[in-house]
Amino acid sequence: MPGRFQCRNVSSFSIALSLLALACSSCGTVRGILTSHPAPTGAAKNIILFIGDGMGFEQVKASGMYATGASGTLSFEAFPFSGSIRTLNAEGGVTDSAASATAMATGAKVSNGVISMSLPGSGIPLMTILEHLKSEGKSTGLVTTTFVTHATTATFGAHEPSRENYSSIADDYLNDARPNVLFGGAKYVTQYAAAAAGYTVVVDRAGLQALDTEKEPMVSGQFGGDNMPYEIDGLGELPHLSEMTRTALRILNNDPDGFFLMVEGGRIDHACHAHDIEQAIWETIEFSNAVAVAMEWRNSHSDTLIIVTADHETGGLHVLANNGAGNLPTVTWGTTGHTSSPVPVFWWGINAELVSGTMENTNIFNIMINSSAGSAIADPDFH
């Protein structure tokens, strides 16, 4: 499709021109929407949370430089409200994705490796934002570029003492949380199990695009047997994150009570662990494309809150020089692991004006639940 690349050996010039057009188009559309539709007041019928796994301030900066020649140019950087998020785990140490995503999903700090359970503590499940809003009659969805039982996604729809309990996480999805949309890599979620649980199963872009989104209330998109491929390597017959986001919105929008959708750009983190700045940039740009899809959709759905953030920073990335559009910026890396650096957060919609300065990642949950119609903050522990 136009503006996409299927292999790593395309010319830098072609990359620069295509990414420049794509990024500028997305950002320009968003800025126009923001100008003509200021943030409303009231309750949020729909809440969309985007999480760039491992995406710190420097990852965002580097991606804008590569896409357009300037930082500050990704779609979500046009949002009217922004701040930063502290990401430390329950013990005050450097977080992993399980602990940080649990904080956003439940409003509670936990230990690394824990999926939405009160650990340290009683060990009982922590009610997630997905479960809260589902109990209010809203539809729900989870979309990721990793396999769907990976840690970040799992914290919104499962309860396990270990992030590595992948089969149990799959059971939690299909039998308990039952999100209406579950898109990502298919590892540990089989076509048979999903179909038996009442899901329509699609396995490629063609199947996704052929869905009658007006008539499909429960869809499992099982795209490849593991993590989805990196953008720069080409996705073949599989959909891009922006395409999954568009279809998820079309399905969830059928619910008159509204919806909750979490979309993760999961492979930004993997690229940063490997110190592959090119892969990290391409993943971040596609993540920005997915946000732009949601922004265009929100143009006719002003009762919506959109949040864009990260679970943690990966790699200790630091940008040294901007080398222009289509050229990789000069960077250094500080670690192959995660860091304690605060990560960015961008908001547009209901209660977005509450964001300023630096806050705890648990506040993501608090603001989401207070922004939703009929919601009230409660003790996050439940039986």
**Which pLDDT tens digit goes with each residue over 226-253?**
999 999 999 999 999 999 999 999 999 9
Domain ranges of the chain: 12-371
pTM of the model: 0.90
Half-sphere exposure of 160 (CA within 13 A, CB side): 26
Cα–Cα distance, 237 to 218 (Å, whole number): 22
pLDDT tens digits for 59-113?
999 999 999 999 999 999 999 999 999 999 999 999 999 999 999 999 999 999 9
The reply to whether omega before 120 is within 30° of 0 (cis) is yes
Give the single-character DSSP code of 44: B
| 97: annotated active-site residue | yes
Structure tokens at 154: 């799992």
Annotated catalytic residue, options 26, 75, 84, 97 = 97
Judged by DSSP in three states, 299 sits in coil
Residue for token pair 């729809």? 157
Q: What is the pLDDT of residue 283?
A: 98
d(CA 351, CA 41): 7
pLDDT tens digits along 9-39:
333 334 333 444 444 444 454 455 454 445 5
290: enclosing H helix or E strand: helix 277-298
- CATH code of the domain occupying 12-371: 3.40.720.10
Question: What is the tens place of the pLDDT at every residue in 331-363?
Answer: 999 999 999 999 999 999 887 776 678 999 999
Q: Residue 328's closest CA among 289, 288, 264, 284?
A: 284
